[in-house]
């Protein structure tokens, strides 16, 4: 079962930042936080991951709290194509087969 808690749904206005929260209060020291999204009828798409430092790439930013018990995925300028289910996953560093997807957050970007 998933080790993360996410809100079931969120809305965001097009062009605004989308901030998606995730709680992972039982995370251990060697576990990473990964984010994926799944657009309808497609496979999950990798977005970003991190251990304890904040991370940024061309898609998003990941902010991890100092105690590592929660994180926020930020899409800086959401577009309609960002409408998807977003999954936050906690994954052990050396366990390649451990991908426990929970229910995720359904983000709807509105015009």
Partner 1 sequence: DVKVTQSSRYLVKRTGEKVFLECVQDMDHENMFWYRQDPGLGLRLIYFSYDVKMKEKGDIPEGYSVSREKKERFSLILESASTNQTSMYLCASSSTRQGGNQPQHFGDGTRLSIL
Instruction: Specify the residue, 2 or 74, whose C-beta has the smaller distance to partner 1.
Output: 2
DSSP bridge pairs for 11 = 108
Helix, coil or strand: residue 82: helix
Q: Which of 34, 24, 36 has its CA nearest to residue 68?
A: 24
30-54 burial: b if 16+ Cβ within 10 Å, else e: ebebbbbbbeeeeebeebbebeeee
Q: Toward partner 1, which CB reaches closer, 12 or 104?
A: 104
Site membership for partner 1, residue 45 (CB under 8 A)? yes
42 forms part of the interface with partner 1 (CB under 8 A): yes
Q: What's the min distance (Å) between Cβ of 97 and partner 1?
A: 5
Find the shortest distance in angstroms from Cβ 88 to partner 1: 13
State the chain's maximal CA–CA distance in angstroms.
42
With CB under 8 A as the contact rule, the residue among 43, 53, 58, 81 that binds partner 1 is 43
C-beta atoms surrounding 64 within 10 Å: 21
Q: Rounded to the nearest whole angstrom, what is the least distance from the CB of residue 42 to partner 1 in the complex?
A: 5
Q: Decide if residue 32 touches partner 1 (CB under 8 A).
A: yes
Q: Which residues bind partner 1 (CB under 8 A)?
A: 2, 32, 34, 41-46, 49, 51, 93-97, 99-103
């Amino acid at each position: 079962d998933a080790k993360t808690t996410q809100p079931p749904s969120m809305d965001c206005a097009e062009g605004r930042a989308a901030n998606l929260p995730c709680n992972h209060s039982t995370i251990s020291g060697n576990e990473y936080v990964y984010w994926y999204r799944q657009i309808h009828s497609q496979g999950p798409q990798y977005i970003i991951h991190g251990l304890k430092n904040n991370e940024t790439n061309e898609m998003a930013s990941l902010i991890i709290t100092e105690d590592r018990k929660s994180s926020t995925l930020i899409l800086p300028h959401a577009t309609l194509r960002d409408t998807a289910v977003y999954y936050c996953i906690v994954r052990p560093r050396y366990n390649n087969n451990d991908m426990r997807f929970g229910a995720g957050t359904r983000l709807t970007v509105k015009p």
